[in-house]
A and B are shown apart, each in its own frame.
Chain A
Amino acid sequence: MAAEDVKLLSFWASPYAMRAILALEAKGVNYESIEENLNPKSQLLLESNPIYEKIPVLLHNGKAIPESLIIVLYVDEAWPEHGGFLPKDPYARAMTHFWSDFIDKKIFEVPFSALKAKGEEKEAALKELYDNLLTLESGFIKFDAKPFFNGSSIGYADICLAPFVAWLPVFVDLAGIRLPTAEEAPHLHKFIGAIREHPAAKVAFPDIEKLAAFSRSLQQRWAAST
């Protein structure tokens, strides 16, 4: 079989890019990571993702796949031999999609809103995140997560959530994020502990000091532009 050409247009701090890296690492795919500067955006990025001009973009034998969750599903389907990210039963698959969608819409973006916001708006974001994390705990319970939604190996919903954990110390320090306690959300806390130890996360998650410095400079830029 001819060698596969797999490239990932990426950015080290992007939680979306981290999802793609986690998927590729979990499947043991050989890939080349191309760090995008984003200012200016490379010709390759603009050609590969003309609609959104954003990373991550997976390039597989020249074909471009953008959007982090679509990339994760593609990686699962293009390399089926290394364990599935989704269960086989259609109902369990639908539930996995449901919780991934919930994570993406109700958890992933909220801390960044809290980082940008001030006063009442910030408090509202913090409360929303807290409530949504409690709801997520109910999802972990429904799946009987051990400790991942996908059992002992990471799957679609786990990959969707994991970068939140990479950024968590920054969210706590700079945005004042409050997590439910280990008593209130034991599965969430087990997930956080387990994902940090996962070999794929050791590759995907950036150095926390570097991430903290990056976030501080982002916050300064946002403050300056308002």
Chain B
Amino acid sequence: MAPELKLLSLWASPYCMRVAIALNMKKVQCEVIEEDLRNKSDLLIKLNPVHKKVPVLIHNGKPICESLIIVEYVDEVWPEDGTRQAILPKDAYCRAMERFWADFIDKKIFPPAYFALRKQGDEQQKAIADFYESYAILEGALAKVSEKPFFGGKKLNFVDVILAPLACWLLALEELAGINVNKCESYPRLCEYFKAVREHPAVANVLPDDKKESEHFRKLRNL
């Protein structure tokens, strides 16, 4: 019997994209319910009363919140078998290292990127500086992975699921914050990374159009 799976989502949210990528990797079908965050649904408020945020995965009626937690949950409920891969590895140390980089990306890459897109003046300048500092560290980490192009080598791992959605923000970051990380001389591995991850079958149909994402942030700024 197919599980009942719904995802409370927002098309522009990279946090929701992470969940969609994980579900694609597990080849699991899910009904996506688009939320309007200026007019949150009763369902969202009931299922995530603490944070009132998307994504919320609803599995057989039970809600799971927070993107990193949802991805680990999906990995545990649909473990590796002949038809689907594992997201996190079995070895405790390798798991710790993937969680470390996922946490780094979640705290030090996405928030400065978001503030660079939303803020102006000094606040924006600080966000831009923080983003560049973290991006350089991330390039260093990826350079240590011998197999290309992903953090998981030829396959996606937990770090990749958390990072991949940044791909759809790169144009917006350039247009609205002057952040240009497409200079392949400075970030050779990450350049290759984002070109490849957009094409990955689990990611390709999840990412919205770059221009649509940039327009979305432009509108938010003008409000």
Contact = CB atoms under 8 A, between A and B. Distances in A.
Nearest to B64: A94
Given A91-B59, A101-B66, A77 B95 contact: yes
Contact of B100 (A67, A77, A98, A102): A67
A102 B95 CA distance: 22
Interface string A139-173: 00000000000000000000000000000000000
Contacts of B99: 70, 73
Interface stretch (B29-37, B69-77, B180-188, B209-217): B69-77
Interface of A is mostly: helix
A77 B96 CA distance: 10
Q: B70, B96, B103 — which one has the most chain A CB atoms within 10 A of its CB? A: B96
B65 interface: yes
Size category, B interface: 20 to 34
Interface of B is mostly: helix
Interface string B95-113: 1110110011000000000
A70 B73 contact: no
A74 B88 CA distance: 13
Interface of B: 50, 59, 62, 64-66, 69-70, 72-73, 76-77, 92-93, 95-97, 99-100, 103-104, 137
8 contacts: A74-B93, A74-B95, A91-B59, A91-B62, A91-B73, A94-B70, A98-B69, A102-B50
A-B interface, 4 closest residue pairs, ranked by CB to CB distance from nearest: A77-B92, A90-B76, A94-B73, A74-B96
Interface of A: 51, 60, 63, 65-67, 70-71, 73-74, 77-78, 90-91, 93-94, 97-98, 101-102, 135
